[in-house]
Amino acid sequence: MLTVDFSRFPLAPGDRVLDLGAGGGRHAFEAYRRGAHVVALDRNENDVRAVDRMFAAMAEAGEAPVGATAAAITGDALALPFPDDAFDKIIISEVLEHIPDDAGVLAEIHRVLRPGGLVAMTVPRYGPEKVCWALSDAYHEVEGGHIRIYKGHELVERVESAGFEPYADHFTHALHAPYWWIKCAVGVDNDKALPVRLYHKLLVWDIMKAPRTTRWTEKALNPLIGKSFVVYAVKPRTGSEAAA
């Protein structure tokens, strides 16, 4: 399930792509399939090993074009182990809400993204996230949990303050908002509760089959209760770079 819309965030074969805070690697895998040179970085060593194994399996199965490369590494978002201007595209999905120094992360992204490069950032949307916090302290008061809820304009302002120029934004995953409200209401760890199990089956069916009914329903609901807010931005070129 992709949160980033690749029609708004185009990748070309050979692009150098960083998936920052890659987690399970869903966006990194898509970038690899599109022929990019991908680095998936996360602080969780177990996630990094799992993503690396999947990269290897994709290569063996021929799921990536010839010439594409992929690597998974551990690292710190506040001290990225890359030189300046190292990447053409950067994805940071559902990460900023976990990190106290989000300005520091944005500064590091700005440093390692080349002038003219694109970044896609996603965070939980304010309204649906506020409901989750109201229903359950356990949803966010855990080690490594969510420490803030962004209003849309707040994230855009922080992105602009970091030196980027936003060019698009949208909401997505509306069908997932009620699922998390149900989990928060019955207990976030209570996966055996009947409403949770039934709704989870619906989500799995939707992801696997992508029927028109649920696709249209989610598209209509995204502006109202989309679970994630996505911002796309460019790192501007300087005058000399723009003329080159």
- Is 3 part of any domain? no
Residue spans of the chain under pLDDT 50: none
- Is 136 part of any domain? yes
This prediction's pTM: 0.94
pLDDT in tens, 195-222: 999 999 999 999 999 999 999 999 999 9
- Domain range holding 147? 76-237
- Is 132 part of any domain? yes
Check residue 45 and give its pLDDT.
97
Say how far apart CA 95 and CA 21 lie, in whole Å: 6
- Is 202 part of any domain? yes
Q: How many domains does the chain have?
A: 1
Check residue 139 and give its pLDDT.
93
CB 162 within 8 A of CB 107: yes
- Is 46 part of any domain? no
- Is 44 part of any domain? no
- Comparing CA positions, the residue from 1, 52, 10 lying closest to residue 35 is 10
At 160, which CATH number? 3.40.50.150
pLDDT in tens, 37-67: 999 999 999 999 999 999 999 999 999 999 9
Check residue 92 and give its pLDDT.
98
